[in-house]
Amino acid sequence: MNFTKASELLELCNKHNKKIFEIMIERESFLTDMSKEDIIAKMQISLDIMKDSIEKGLTEDIKSMGGLIGGDAKKVMERSKTSRSVCGTLMSRAISRSMAVLEVNASMGKIVAAPTAGASGILPGVIITIGEEFKIEDRELVNGLITASTIGMLISKNATVAGAEGGCQAETGSAAAMAAAAVVELMDGTPKMALDAAAICIKNILGLVCDPIAGLVEVPCESRNAIGAANALISAEMALSGVKSIIPFDEVIDTMYKVGSSLPMELRETALGGLAMTPTGKKLQKQIFDN
């Protein structure tokens, strides 16, 4: 069994009365000969690495390789516990955890690329926080990660998840779409709702450029992982409420690819445009590489 479009996936889900993650597990077994149990066990390892990276980012003193980030995730978590949270604590915990993973990544810590290292904070930040809030067991969270990978697979197949090809929309946008679909399935939404949530996510940040200072996965990547987590939660909330994406997922992904291709090279991970070329951005770049 295989599928390359969301429309085909939806047909399979409806025909067999299965969730997205169940269809994806069958596809994986078909492609790789791995048993369902082995797939689940392997994904549990990824979930454990995600948890460890959050823990590390929120408890240890982190300094990134380029020296631009470290310690901000803790600040957000601290405020969510001690002050009147503007976003509500669920959102601020998710934001903080996404930032924590990104800080660990930038300091040569261990993470799970999801779908890339530059966007690696969003999925763990969202999934772990939803698990905590609604007391969802690991074995279900693992299913959520498999739902997420289905969305990422469809984007990789029909567009791209690389910032160098499609800009930040392709990285943090894809990660947010993956996380949104996972949340919808974890909260008992339908496959159609999950795909709507993913489509809404991408639409929300269509055209976002990739312009990291000094070309490093630090600034503005960390705050874009935070907004990615928020984007995922917002889109999931809308889809679970019955809000539909007027433009279907497959068409949104095709569009994301076209928009990415039409971005100038300077705004696709080359550090030759956007924030990287601000006076401060240039100064920091010089400082980092002259050292």
Partner 1 sequence: MKDYTIFDIVGPNMIGPSSSHTAGACRLGNIAYKIAEKSIKEVTFLLHGSFANTYRGHGTDKALVGGILGFDTDDERIKDSFQIAKAKGINFKFLAEYLGDVHSNTVKIIITKEDNTTVEILGSSIGGGNIVVTEINGLKLEFTGEYTTLIISHIDKPGMVSKVTAVLSEYQINIAFMRVYRHEKGQNAFMIIETDDEINNNLVIKIKDIEYVKKAYLINI
Q: Tell me how far apart the alpha carbons of residues 221 and 140 are, in angstroms, rounded to a whole number.
A: 29
228 touches partner 1 (CB under 8 A)? no
125 touches partner 1 (CB under 8 A)? no
Q: Which of 1, 246 has the CB closer to partner 1? A: 1
Of positions 6, 9, 12, 64, contacts partner 1 by CB under 8 A: 64
| Contacts (Cβ under 8 Å, ≥6 apart) of 276 | 211, 212, 213, 214, 215, 282, 285
158 touches partner 1 (CB under 8 A)? no
Interface of this chain with partner 1, residues 168 to 197, rule: CB under 8 A = 178
Measured from the CB of residue 240, what is the shortest distance to partner 1 in angstroms? 22
Residue among 232, 249, 157, 156 at smallest CA distance from 196: 249
Question: Running DSSP on this structure, what letter comes out for residue 217?
Answer: S
Q: What are the tokens at 46?
A: 């990824």
Q: Which of 65, 247 has the CB closer to partner 1? A: 65
Would the CA dihedral through 149, 155, 157, 163 be positive or negative? negative
Of positions 71, 207, 215, 248, contacts partner 1 by CB under 8 A: 215
Interface of this chain with partner 1, residues 17 to 46, rule: CB under 8 A = 24, 28, 31-32, 39, 42-43, 45-46
Measured from the CB of residue 115, what is the shortest distance to partner 1 in angstroms? 5
153 touches partner 1 (CB under 8 A)? yes
Of positions 44, 63, 85, 113, contacts partner 1 by CB under 8 A: 113
Phi, then psi, of 246 in degrees rounded to 5: -60, -40
162 touches partner 1 (CB under 8 A)? yes
Question: Running DSSP on this structure, what letter comes out for residue 212?
Answer: -
DSSP per-residue letters across 268-285: BSSSSSGGGGSHHHHHHH
Quote the Cα angle for 183-259-192, to 5°. 30
DSSP-derived 3-state class of residue 210: strand
Q: Which of 127, 199 has the CB closer to partner 1? A: 127
Measured from the CB of residue 36, what is the shortest distance to partner 1 in angstroms? 12
Kindly determine how many residues on this chain lie close enough to bind partner 1 according to the rule CB under 8 A.
Answer: 51
Q: Which of 94, 216 has the CB closer to partner 1? A: 216
Q: Residue 188 in contact with residue 136, Cβ under 8 Å?
A: no
Measured from the CB of residue 125, what is the shortest distance to partner 1 in angstroms? 14
Measured from the CB of residue 100, what is the shortest distance to partner 1 in angstroms? 12
Contact pattern from residue 87 through residue 106 relative to partner 1, giving x for each residue in contact according to CB under 8 A and a dash for the rest: -----------------xxx
Phi, then psi, of 162 in degrees rounded to 5: -95, 130
Q: Alpha carbon of 59 to those of 34, 56, 73: distances in Å?
A: 36, 5, 10
Of positions 12, 94, 99, 112, contacts partner 1 by CB under 8 A: 112
Cα 116 to the center of its chain, rounded Å: 8
Site of interaction with partner 1 (CB under 8 A): 2, 24, 28, 31-32, 39, 42-43, 45-46, 49, 64-66, 104-118, 120, 123, 145-146, 148-149, 152-153, 156-157, 161-162, 164, 178, 214-218, 288-289, 291
